């Protein structure tokens, strides 16, 4: 029922529309026109005013097919429209081995335009074959690649879905991400004392030295099976003849447990506090939880539906926990139980990114079967 050639051509068209994160205007306009052409009601929210991105999130609503399906519980599919860099001038290549790649100078953009293409195909199949369905919202976010900026700024009032499926996970098509961590954004400012590095260095306090010793006392990397921490960027210093008096560290911590992530944040601050105390200098430690964790049990409704749809198609339906965040985290935080479905793309965020043509078809078939399974949810 899925039109393979149409789906692939749609995907190839989508990836050739430049949409690096923060520059989503062209792809947003294309998708608004496409959803409207397919008969959906499309709203772009006002999140761009808060995120600084070129476009807001799109919410395209497909009304129930008829009166008999109006009582079916409404749900949503979500993907994101933006890509990482380098994503300008993408030239997709369909290989003889069944893979679609870029020409090697850019990413491909299957993260997440494979999901978007699959959803557009599902809508066309539903329309062409007069297939029954309840209300479905297609939420296409901006700024997912910028720490989920779009979904975090979304107007929740535009959504009336009771559960949802993100189509934006690594892994074999037919596998389901049922847990992902919360992420803390951490900024640590070390305030030392400047002095001439050659004349009177003993009068200074090197912020770089203090920061280095503090980092050395932190437990970083893999903390336990569900908790990680990382120092990502170190900014500060200046000329070599001046004892540096200012450094800022940018870090993160992740965990599926709120207790564990709070404990990790506290331990990182304790390391900074102790070293600054020894050197007699000051610090500022700032942290905030960027998005919530989520975790589902195997028998929860949204998981059961996703597994049943996968198994009906001969897919595994296996579940797993991810170490990364996605828009699914945010929708769960909004009270919409949402799992993240694997797309099958490989080597994402690199110029070696690729996806099998057949996996594009499988993703569309999977989403279509979810629509079919949703008819029993009233």
Task: Look up 144 and say whether it is catalytic.
Answer: yes
Cβ atoms < 10 Å from Cβ of 256: 19
Task: Look up 239 and say whether it is catalytic.
Answer: no
Name the E strands within the chain. 41-44, 58-62, 75-80, 93-94, 99-101, 136-141, 164-169, 176-180, 182-191, 221-224, 227-236, 246-255, 282-291, 294-295, 319-321, 338-342, 354-356
Cβ atoms < 10 Å from Cβ of 57: 32
Among 20, 45, 82, 269, the active-site one is 82
User: Is 182 in contact with 289 (CB distance < 8 Å)?
Assistant: yes
Radius of gyration of the chain (CA): 24
Q: For residues 141 and 123, what is the distance between their CA atoms, to the nearest angstrom?
A: 18
Among 24, 45, 111, 144, the active-site one is 144
User: Is 222 in contact with 276 (CB distance < 8 Å)?
Assistant: no
Q: For residues 11 and 104, what is the distance between their CA atoms, to the nearest angstrom?
A: 18
- Residue 157 CA, distance from chain mean position: 21
Q: For residues 322 and 333, what is the distance between their CA atoms, to the nearest angstrom?
A: 17
Q: What tokens does 209 get?
A: 């030295």
Give whole-number Cα distances, 98 to 95, 143, 156, 191, 207, in Å: 6, 30, 40, 56, 54
How is residue 346 annotated by DSSP? B
How is residue 170 annotated by DSSP? -
> What angle, 0 to 180 degrees and rounded to 10, lies between the N-to-C axes of helices 357-374 and 110-128?
50
Which residues are part of the catalytic machinery?
82, 144
């Amino acid at each position: 029922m899925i039109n393979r050639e149409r789906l692939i051509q749609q995907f190839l068209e989508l990836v050739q529309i430049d949409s690096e994160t923060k520059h989503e205007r062209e792809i947003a306009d294309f998708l608004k026109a496409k959803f409207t052409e397919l008969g959906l009601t499309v709203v772009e929210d006002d999140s761009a005013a808060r995120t600084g991105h070129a476009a807001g999130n799109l919410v395209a609503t497909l009304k129930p097919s008829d009166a008999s399906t109006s009582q079916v519980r409404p749900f949503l599919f979500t993907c994101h429209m933006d890509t990482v860099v380098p994503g300008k001038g993408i030239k997709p290549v369909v290989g003889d081995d069944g893979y679609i790649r870029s020409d090697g100078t850019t990413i491909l953009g299957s993260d997440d335009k494979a999901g978007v293409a699959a959803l557009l195909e599902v809508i066309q199949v539903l329309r062409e074959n007069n297939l029954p369905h309840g209300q479905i919202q297609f939420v296409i976010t901006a700024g997912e690649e910028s720490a989920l900026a779009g979904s975090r700024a979304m107007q929740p009032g535009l959504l009336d879905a009771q559960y949802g499926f993100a189509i934006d996970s690594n892994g074999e098509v037919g596998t389901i991400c049922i847990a992902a961590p919360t992420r803390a954004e951490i900024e640590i400012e070390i305030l030392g004392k400047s002095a001439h590095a050659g004349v009177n260095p003993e009068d200074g306090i090197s912020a770089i030295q203090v920061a280095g010793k503090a980092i050395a006392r932190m437990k970083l990397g893999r903390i336990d099976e569900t908790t990680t921490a990382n120092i990502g960027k170190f900014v500060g210093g200046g000329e070599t003849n001046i004892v540096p008096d200012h450094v800022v560290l940018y870090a993160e911590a992740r965990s599926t447990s709120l207790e564990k992530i709070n404990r990790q944040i506290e331990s990182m601050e304790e390391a900074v506090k102790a070293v600054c105390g020894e050197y007699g200098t000051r610090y500022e430690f700032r942290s905030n939880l960027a998005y919530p964790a989520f975790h589902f049990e195997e028998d929860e409704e949204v998981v059961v539906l996703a597994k049943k749809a996968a198994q009906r198609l001969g897919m595994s339906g296996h579940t797993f926990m991810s170490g990364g965040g996605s828009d699914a985290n945010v929708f769960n935080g909004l009270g919409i139980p949402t799992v993240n479905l694997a797309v099958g793309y490989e080597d994402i965020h690199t110029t070696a990114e690729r996806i099998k043509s057949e996996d594009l078809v499988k993703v569309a078939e999977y989403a279509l079967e979810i629509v079919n399974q949703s008819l029993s949810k009233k």
